[in-house]
Structure formats: structure tokens, C-alpha cells
Amino acid sequence: MPIRLLITDDHSVVRKGIRTLLEDEADIQIVGEATDGDEAIDLIPALKPDVMLLDITMPRMSGIEVTRVVAQRYPEVRVLIFSMHNNPDYILNAVQSGAAGYLLKDTSEDEILRAVRVVATGDLYYPTSASSVIIRHLVLPNASRRNREPATDETGSAGSLWNKLTPREEQILTCLTEGMSSREIADRFDISPNTVANQRASIIRKAGVKNTVDLVRLALKERKNSGAN
């Protein structure tokens, strides 16, 4: 079935451009457009989008506020931020509010298409520049603050997460801690993005965390505590 996409932006030119870009893609169906966040939220029950392509700066409700509401009320809808702001505060707020990805409006057509398809699978899509911001501001500071806490499981063994992984899972987790996307990991190991997604889901289950950001935090913390390079 095609990916059901809801475009939310207060600029008609942007909405028209996205529609022109995506409407001929066989695996993407544009189910509607919204001019602000309130309208987008009201449309979700009827349109049932899989992905919402969402601007940040809009009247009445900001994209960050919309993201929080969608994450709470409609967790099955994947929010892909589409913004002109290459600003760490915007990126970090998007992550913390539950966005599945963050794109700049000068992004290439190919990357927009790739991002929509990736987040529709349940994966995250943050380009290298955004991933670097996330790791620098969210992951590393938390790992540094907690580096004196031993990473233990129920048996008290340090480095428990890394000890639970298969060799391939360890490779994939290492790539995630380096800020690589699923597509980049798939290309590195000549496997499909779906295989990467399945392996990442397995690692998350073994780690007992909720999402990839928490997984990377834990992995960096345990690696630092164990003294690994």
C-alpha cells in the first residue's frame, strides 16, 4: 500500500512544490494539505496519514507543538520536520518532541523522497548534520554525566548490552553511535535497510530502551565505562 502523506505548511508555494515532487511517486499518496497545525491535527482522524511532512514556523501552533500533540494522540503517525532553520535548538526540540526526522527546505529531491520512505517504515531519518547535533548535545553530555555509574544488568555484569549482541548487531550499534543512518549502514554492509531496521529493533529490545536515541546514550555510556575505544 502507498505511504499516506499529509503536507502541513502555511506557504502555498511550498505545499505546491512538495505535491509536484511527490504526486507521481507510485508508493506515495498525498492524502491532504493543511495550512497550520490546528488544521493538520483535525484532519488526522479522517485522512489517517502514515507520515506528516511538517513545517516548524507556522501561525497559531508551531511545528514543535504539533509534533508533541501528534506523538501523544496519534503515535502511529510519523512526523517529518521540514524546516528552513538549521539551528541546534530546533533540531533538539524536534527530537525531544517525538519527530521521526528533520529535513531542511534546501534538501535535494532525492533526499526528501528517501526521508519520507524511511520514516514510513518506522525508522528515524536525521541527516549527518542533524545527527551530529543530536549526539553532541544529547548523547555525549548524558554519557559524560553518568560515566561514574557502572552499567550493569540483573547479574551486575558491566557492559551488559554489548555482551548481549551478535557480531552483526555490535557492528550496527557502533554505526548508530557514529550517527550513521540506516541507509548508510545498509550500504556499508551490503544489506537491506529493512534488515538494518530489524537488527536495530532487536538491539533495542535487548537494551530495554524505548528508542534509538536512548539506545545510543546507553551504548556510549557502557562503552565509556568499559574503557573501550
pTM of the model: 0.60
What residue spans define the domains of the chain? Answer: 3-126, 130-226
Given 3-state DSSP classes, what are the helix, strand and coil percentages for the chain, each rounded to the nearest 5? 55, 15, 30
Give per-residue burial for 138-174: e unless 16+ CB within 10 Å, then b.
bbbebbeebeeeebeeeeeeebbbbeebeeebbebbe
Q: Which three cell numbers stand for residue 11?
A: 506557504
The Cα–Cα gap between 88 and 84 comes to 12
Tell me, yes or no, if the two domains 3-126 and 130-226 fold the same way.
yes
Q: What is the pLDDT of residue 80?
A: 95
Tens of pLDDT, residue by residue over 32-44, are 999 999 999 999 9
CA distance linking residue 26 with residue 124, whole number of Å: 22
Fold of 130-226: Rossmann fold (3.40.50)
Domain 3-126 in this protein, CATH class: alpha beta
pLDDT digit string (tens) for 46-95?
A: 999 999 999 988 877 888 899 989 988 999 999 999 888 777 777 778 88
Residue pair 49/4 in contact by the 8 Å Cβ criterion: yes
Q: What is the pLDDT of residues 147-199, one digit of tens each?
A: 445 444 443 344 468 778 887 888 888 888 878 888 888 888 888 887 888 88
Q: For residue 83, what are the contacts with CB-CB under 8 A and spacing of at least 6?
A: 55, 56, 57, 63, 90, 102, 103, 104, 105
Distances (CA, A) of 9 to 52, 117, 214: 10, 20, 30
